[in-house]
Structures are given as C-alpha cells and as structure tokens.
C-alpha cells in the first residue's frame, strides 16, 4: 500500500453585484533626462502584465503632464493607452511605475512624456523579449555584477528558460505584475530597501507558487534583512572552510576552484534541508502556500559555485519544486463566454414571450372591441378618430416607460471573479470580469485600488485582448479607467487582476493506493464567514461532491478510485510510461454539481455562473491537468 499526502488547492467562483532585452533607453535634452525599462530586464510572458519602470529628472523649465504608453493599434481595434500623471518642477528627480498588457507579438514599446498641452516632450523606445507561458523566467537581484547565465540551461523540463537581471527598484509593487517570474534570486543586495508594497507583492507571489532564493556570502546580513522571519534557517555568521566534500559528492561534480570557501552558518528553523555539509545547511527550503523560500549558504557568484559543473544540478533541485498550474485556474480565457457572463444582468433581461403576448392581446382588445363598445354606449362612435390615436399614444408611452423601468435607471458595475490559491495559504489570485452598465449614453470614470491591474477586453472575440470605449487606463494614487463611453443600455467590459487574502479554509488529504485501486480521504474545515456553495473536490478526472460548506462546518469526504483512476491521478502505470495529462476542460463534466441545477440557460441567476465556468475552459491543450502531481482542487 502507498499512502500519499496531497496539497489542496482552492478555486472559488464568485459572483458579486456592486452598485536587447533589458537595455534601458534614455533621452536627454533641455535639462530633461528620461530613462525606462519594460518587463523584467526586457523579458515578459504572453498573456501577463508588463511592468514599466521610469526614471525622469528635470533641471529645466517645470513640466506638468503625463507618461503615456500605447499598446495595440487602431486598425485592429485593440489599442489601449496606459498613463500616469507626473509633475516635474525644476531640479526634480522622480521614479514612476506603469503596468501594461501587451497583446500578440510585441517587440518594443514607446514611452512618451506629454505636457499639459498634449505635446510630446520626450520619447523612449523600450525593447521586449516575449516568452511563452510555459517558459521558465529567473529574476536575479544584486548590487554587484552577477554571472548566472547558466540558468538558461536549467529549464526544469519546460523547454526554454531566460535570466533577467533586475535592480531592486524595478520589482513591481502590484502583485499581479509578478506573474511572469518563476524564480527570484537575491544575492549581495540590501533587501531592506524593498518598499512595504514590494514586500507585500513578493509575499503574495510566493504564496501563489513563486520560488524565492536568498543567498549567503560576504553580504549575507543585508541580503537576508527583509526575510529573516520567513527563512527556513536562522543565519548566525559566516566562516571559511577548506573544502565541501559532501556537496561535491551529492551533486556528482568536483569543484573547479580549490578552497577555502566562504559559507554562511545557520541553524535550521523550519522546513527541510536539501543539501548540507556535516549538518550545516547549504540549501534549505520552507514552503509558503504554493511557493517556497530557499536559503543558499553560498554566494552563487563566487567559488565553489561559480563556473562549477554541479551548479546546474543545484538549481535543478529548486526548479523541480515549481508547482504546475492548469490554465483553467488562472481566470477566464474564452472571452465570448466571459462577456456573456458579465453582461447578463437580471435587470436587463427582456420580458418573456408570454408577457409580451398578453400585452399585445390586451392592446388589441382595448383599441378594438372595448373602444367600439364604449363609444357605441355613449352614442359617439364618430369620436373613434380621436380615441384610437389617443389609445395608441397611451400604450406606446406605457410600453416605453415600462421598458425603461425594466432596464433600470441606475448605473451598475457587475463583477464576477475567479479566485485561486492553496488551502492553508495566505493569498489568492483574483481574476475579475467587470461590466459597466449605463441606462443612458454617458461617460464615466471608474476608480479601482492601485494594486488592481485592469484593461478592456472584447467580449465578442476569441481572445481577451480587445479594446473598450475609453480614453486611457491611468495609474496614480488609484487605478482609474478614464472617460469610459457607454451607449444607451450598453455594457462596457473589462478584466482585472489582483491578489486578496485567502478565505480561511483548512484541510488535509490522503490517498491510499493498492493493486485493486485506491481510496481518497479528505478532511475540510471552513473557518471563514462565507458559505462555499455546491463545493466539490476535483482530483484528475475524479469529482467528489461536497455540497454546501457553511461557516464553522467541517466535513470528511471519502472517494473510492478504480485501478485506472488511481494510476492516472498518481502518474503511475504498469509500463512505467511518462506522466499523463487528464482532460482539456476538466470542469465541464461537473456543471450540474457545481451549479446545483441542470437549467443552465433558463435560470437568470445560474446562467452567468454557467458562462463563467465555460470561460475557464481551454480547448487548445493549455488547460490540461498534469496527473503526476496528484493535485487536489476544492471548487465552489
């Protein structure tokens, strides 16, 4: 019998109704210096946000204006302008961050500094290198030159890897802008310079699967300054050793450079030791949610790790811990279904055919027989030429007023959100659909918190990259959608990304495998104030119904697995074949359980939720579940 402990991920579907890469370019002139870099050292991943970090200094005439970046193009109707206001008095020096969503294949972006008259004062071209979502991106933060190009060879089976060298000031303050990074390495840099917003964003990134590596060496104290409470070890000092034979033996490669070597001494505080030398932790790991924080007691830019054949094997130990995240957990991908979900408001639903038929029947009866009988009783049938037009006008006004009131007089922001995190974790990723309804033709400013990244999308197309009717997406103290134009009874749609505290769910799961199949046992506890409705457990191609999980309620769910199911979800087979994938759209077989009904199209409350589920499905293969990870999802 094999008994496995299984991590539990949590996917919540919420419906709420609310009233050369890396080379920075610079332009100088008239006392103005403008420098900018896009992405992480110029790198970014498809379908992810691109951070842009701008440094601008002015020793000339004062300038009041804005920084402006446009993506897409007008001919393809996906042009979006992202802006940030900037005030530049004489002798000023400022740093500004923007976040843009880049559609399609984009090799560079233009940053404009525009004054209050709308004239372009300065322009910078920022090169970009696009990576696929499956590529591996390392970020290296260090004040001294670091040579870690070898990481491009450590792909973790993903086929492609890239290394981005970034300054500590270039780390984003918006959590969703970190999603392109997979591994972040701090070495010989003062991490205490991280702003509070950067620290919170980094913590959220780790909680959702990021791998943070804090390195030792001569500058171990300042490198670990911001992470002391989260490290798996407690550093106590540094020492020189003549040799590290156990490290060389464990990674199967002799050192190129002879000792002595500088090692940071520490005691294991929590987590696990992956590599050690006579009990001294050389590489330790502590899980934080779906991600982890590592402590490397050696300087990766010094002997013995520098230019050592075993370095790639060392980093492979870290990369293999990266969690697989199916695309269907990361938010809507089918924009047509997403648009159907967010624009279907109960107040906008037309009257049924029965009510329309009754209205027409009553209209015909009144304007015909009733009108005739009344006039005949009064003996004034000649007044029909007045009563008929009057009745037509009356019913027309009645139909207009009734229809207008049914459509509603209030501006509505409809929000539907898909959230994903690890049970027992701290943060969850929130992908929100926003629909702005207006009863009349008008223009609005829509304000969101500064850590929310938002863009328009085309709800009628096949992708999420379309543009909406707005002037710009502005990031100042808040994130603001400027001058959103909405037609009469129209709905303008947007998609937003953010992070939020995870609801207080806890749970444990165990899988027992036997020759005749298996048995899955899950214990769940809802410590939150919200009820998780129609919950279920998704395990490969197996779905176990949980039902409603009320605040304070605990539940134990047991599911028997067939031999085939047990082998598939554990990535096992009698032939020793490679790990398999389970399902391109794993939720669609369980809609009735998740929605609590089979009347997806007829129920006005269920239909938007059904379309939200549909928007998560991906039929291009990117939504597959990796069976070998035996990941368990709590869905509700």
Tens digits of residue pLDDT in 473-529: 999 889 999 999 998 878 899 999 999 998 888 888 888 888 778 888 999 999 999
Confidence of residue 321 (pLDDT cuts 50, 70, 90): confident
Mean pLDDT of 122-136: 92
At residue 349, the pLDDT reads 63
Separation between Cα atoms, residue 23 and residue 20, nearest integer Å: 6
Arithmetic mean of pLDDT, 40-50: 92
pLDDT at residue 226 is higher than 90: yes
Per the CB < 8 A criterion, the answer to whether 213 and 146 are in contact is no
Lowest mean pLDDT among 49-63, 164-178, 281-295, 354-368: 354-368
Query: In the structure encoding, which two tokens stand for residue 101, read together?
Result: 């969503």
At residue 464 the predicted structure's pLDDT band, cuts being 50, 70 and 90, is low
pLDDT computed for residue 101 by the predictor: 92
Compute the mean pLDDT over every residue in the chain, rounded to the nearest whole number: 84
Choice between 559 and 376, residue whose per-residue pLDDT is larger: 559
Q: List the end-to-end C-alpha distance of the chain, in Å, as a whole number.
A: 32
Q: What pLDDT digit, counting tens, does each position of 567-609 carry? A: 665 554 333 333 344 444 567 788 888 888 888 888 888 899 9
Give residue 353's pLDDT band: very low, low, confident or very high (50, 70, 90).
confident
Long-range CB contacts (within 8 A, 24+) of 549-554: 549/524, 549/636, 550/526, 551/526, 551/527, 552/526, 552/527, 553/525, 553/526, 554/523, 554/524, 554/525, 554/526
Residues of 319-330 as b/e, b for ≥16 C-beta within 10 angstroms?
bebbbebbbbbb
Q: How high is the pLDDT of residue 17?
A: 37
Band (pLDDT 50/70/90 cuts) for residue 3 is: low
Q: What is the pLDDT of residue 94?
A: 92
CA distance linking residue 366 with residue 363, whole number of Å: 5
- Above 90 in pLDDT, residue 201? yes
pLDDT mean over 171-180: 94
Tell me which residue of 51, 50, 52, 109 sits closest to 79, measured CA to CA. 109
Sheet holding 2-5, edge to edge: 2-5, 505-514, 517-526, 554-561
Q: Can you state the angle between helices 606-616 and 335-343, rounded to 10 degrees?
A: 160
Q: What letter does residue 573 receive in the DSSP assignment?
A: -
- 220 pLDDT higher than 90: yes
Ordered DSSP codes for 362-397 = HHHHIIIIIHHHHHHHHT-GGGHHHHHHHHHHHHHH
Rg of the Cα trace of the chain?
30
3-state helix, strand, coil in the chain (%, to 5): 25, 40, 35
pLDDT of residue 630: 57
Which of the four pLDDT bands, split at 50, 70 and 90, describes residue 40? very high
| Residue with more model confidence, 498 or 464 | 498
């Amino acid at each position: 019998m094999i008994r496995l402990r299984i991590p539990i991920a949590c996917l919540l579907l919420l419906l709420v109704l609310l009233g050369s890469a890396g080379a920075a370019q610079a332009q100088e002139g008239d006392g103005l210096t403008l420098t900018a870099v896009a992405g992480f050292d110029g790198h970014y991943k498809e379908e992810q946000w691109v951070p842009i970090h701008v440094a601008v200094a002015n020793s000339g005439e004062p300038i009041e204006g804005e920084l402006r970046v446009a993506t897409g193009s007008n001919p393809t109707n996906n042009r979006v302008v992202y802006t940030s206001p900037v005030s530049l008095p004489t002798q000023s020096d400022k740093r500004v961050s923007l976040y843009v969503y880049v559609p399609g294949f984009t090799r560079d972006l233009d940053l404009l500094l525009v004054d209050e008259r709308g004239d372009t004062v300065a322009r910078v071209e920022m090169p970009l290198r696009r990576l696929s979502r499956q590529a591996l991106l390392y970020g290296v933060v260090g004040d001294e030159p670091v040579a870690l190009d070898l990481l491009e060879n450590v792909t973790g089976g993903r086929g492609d890897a890239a290394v981005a060298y970034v300054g500590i000031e270039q780390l984003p303050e918006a959590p969703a802008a970190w999603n392109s990074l997979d591994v972040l390495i701090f070495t010989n840099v003062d991490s205490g310079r991280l702003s509070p917003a950067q620290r919170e964003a980094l913590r959220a990134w780790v909680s959702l699967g990021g791998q943070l590596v804090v390195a030792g060496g001569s500058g171990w104290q300042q490198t670990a300054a911001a992470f002391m409470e989260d490290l798996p070890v407690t550093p106590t000092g540094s020492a020189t050793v003549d040799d590290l034979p156990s490290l060389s033996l464990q990674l199967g490669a002799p050192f190129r450079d002879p000792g002595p070597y500088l090692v940071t001494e520490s005691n294991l505080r929590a987590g696990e030791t992956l590599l050690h030398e006579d009990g001294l932790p050389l590489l330790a790991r502590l899980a934080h949610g779906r991600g982890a924080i590592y402590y490397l007691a050696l300087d990766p830019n010094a002997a013995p790790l520098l230019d050592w054949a075993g370095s790639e094997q060392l980093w492979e130990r870290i990369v293999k811990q990266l969690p697989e995240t199916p695309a269907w957990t990361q938010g809507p991908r089918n924009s047509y279904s997403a648009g159907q979900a967010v624009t279907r408001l109960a107040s906008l639903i037309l009257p049924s055919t029965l009510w329309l038929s009754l209205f027409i029947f009553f209209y015909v009866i009144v304007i015909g027989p009733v009108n005739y009988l009344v006039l005949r009783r009064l003996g004034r049938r000649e007044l029909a030429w007045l009563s008929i037009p009057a009745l037509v006008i009356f019913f027309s006004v009645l139909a207009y007023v009734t229809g207008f009131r049914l459509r509603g007089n209030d501006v509505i922001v409809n929000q539907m959100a898909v959230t994903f995190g690890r049970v027992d974790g701290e943060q969850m990723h929130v992908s929100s659909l926003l629909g702005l309804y207006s009863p009349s033709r008008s223009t609005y400013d829509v304000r969101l918190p500064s850590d929310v990244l938002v863009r328009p999308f085309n709800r009628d197309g096949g992708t999420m990259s379309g543009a909406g009717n707005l002037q710009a997406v502005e990031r100042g103290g808040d994130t603001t959608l400027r001058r959103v134009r909405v037609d009469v009874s129209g709905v303008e749609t947007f998609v937003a990304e953010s992070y939020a505290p995870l609801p207080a769910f806890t749970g444990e799961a165990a899988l027992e495998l036997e020759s005749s199949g298996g048995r899955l046992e899950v214990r769940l506890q809802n410590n939150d104030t919200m009820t998780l409705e129609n919950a279920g457990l998704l395990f490969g191609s197996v779905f176990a119904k949980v039902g409603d999980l009320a605040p304070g309620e605990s539940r134990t769910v047991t599911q028997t697995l067939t031999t085939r199911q047990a082998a598939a979800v554990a990535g096992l087979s009698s032939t020793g074949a490679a790990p398999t994938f389970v399902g391109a759209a794993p939720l669609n077989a369980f809609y009735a359980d998740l929605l609590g009904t089979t009347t997806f199209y007829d129920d006005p409350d269920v239909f938007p939720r059904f379309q939200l589920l549909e928007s998560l499905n991906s039929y291009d293969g990117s939504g597959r579940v990796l069976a070998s990870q035996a990941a368990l999802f709590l869905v509700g």
